[in-house]
Amino acid sequence: MRNIALRLRYDGTAYHGWQVQREDASVAETLERALSKVCGHTVKCTGCGRTDAGVHALSYCANFRTESGIPAGRLPLAVNSRLPDDIAVLRAIDAPEDFNAIGSCIKKEYVYKIMNTRIRDPFLQKRVCFYPAPLDFGRLREAGLAFEGRHDFAAVRSVGTQTRTTVRTVHWCRAEREGDLISIAVCADGFLYNMVRAIVGTMVYASHGKLEPGDIPALLETRDRRLTGPTMPPQGLYLSRLWYEGEVGKMME
């Protein structure tokens, strides 16, 4: 039985996230249907993590097991011919037997995009968060830096999934601005439900002076979601980078 690792990307606008749903369309279900047709048997994929409805992936990793003899290098074209235009498999390789897309992941990076302008761009409507109120970028960037390090992030997660611990290590939380576009990159060893969107919401609050950037470590210690900023809309969020060891890591570079 082969263990195949895939690198893919998708526009999440039309999907209720990665994970299979009872009634709503999901990326996993759509991909599994295409892979099943190519491989000639029912395929179940393991994804590198959840993405919520409307969230996008610039780079996503999944693995599945198959007895099909199709060379891994031919899989992307074969599968893409059976996928809708908003999902694409970029690469495929034979992975080690013990590889697991979520369990083998070392760290992940998400990017949140804010278009800070009063005038919307129709072509970006589902791909950025339009935020018309002026933002103090210096305070926003300072607030992001306050999230870096190892903390209990219960105060910036939404209730919805159970986890053994809410402690995570944020390797960086960097904000950059180019014209009206603000991009916030958050890299961590793992993420809680809606964690990035809540971090960005807290940064926006700090930008407006509703809290001080220097107060953020103390707010995290309270573990109280009510004391931090709002959960930002999903369409501005992208899973951007993933880190693995070995050949899968090279594939994801």
Give the count of alpha carbons within 13 A of 186, CB side only. 29
pLDDT at 161 over 80: no
DSSP state of 189: S
Pick the CATH number of 2-104 from 2.60.120.10, 3.90.1150.10, 3.30.70.580, 2.40.30.10: 3.30.70.580
Q: Where are the domains of the chain?
A: 2-104, 107-240
Q: Is 152 a catalytic residue?
A: no
pTM, rounded to two decimals: 0.94
User: Predicted confidence band at 157 (pLDDT cuts at 50, 70, 90)?
Assistant: very high
Residue from 65, 21, 64 nearest 46 by CA: 64
**Do residues 113 and 124 lie in contact, with contact meaning Cβ atoms separated by under 8 Å?**
no
Q: Do domains 2-104 and 107-240 have the same CATH topology?
A: yes
> Which one is catalytic: 52, 94, 121, 224?
52
For residue range 78-131, list pLDDT tens digits in order.
999 999 999 999 999 999 999 999 999 999 999 999 999 999 999 999 999 999
Closest CA to 62 of 110, 23, 18, 24: 18
Q: What is the pLDDT of residues 12-67, one digit of tens each?
A: 999 999 998 888 899 999 999 999 999 999 999 999 998 889 999 999 999 999 99
pLDDT at position 162, please? 74
pLDDT tens column, 134-147: 999 999 999 999 99
Q: In the structure, what pLDDT confidence band is assigned to residue 159 with cuts at 50, 70 and 90?
A: confident
| Domain 107-240, architecture per CATH | 2-Layer Sandwich (3.30)
E strand spans, 48-196? 56-66, 87-94, 107-115, 129-130, 149-152, 167-178, 181-188
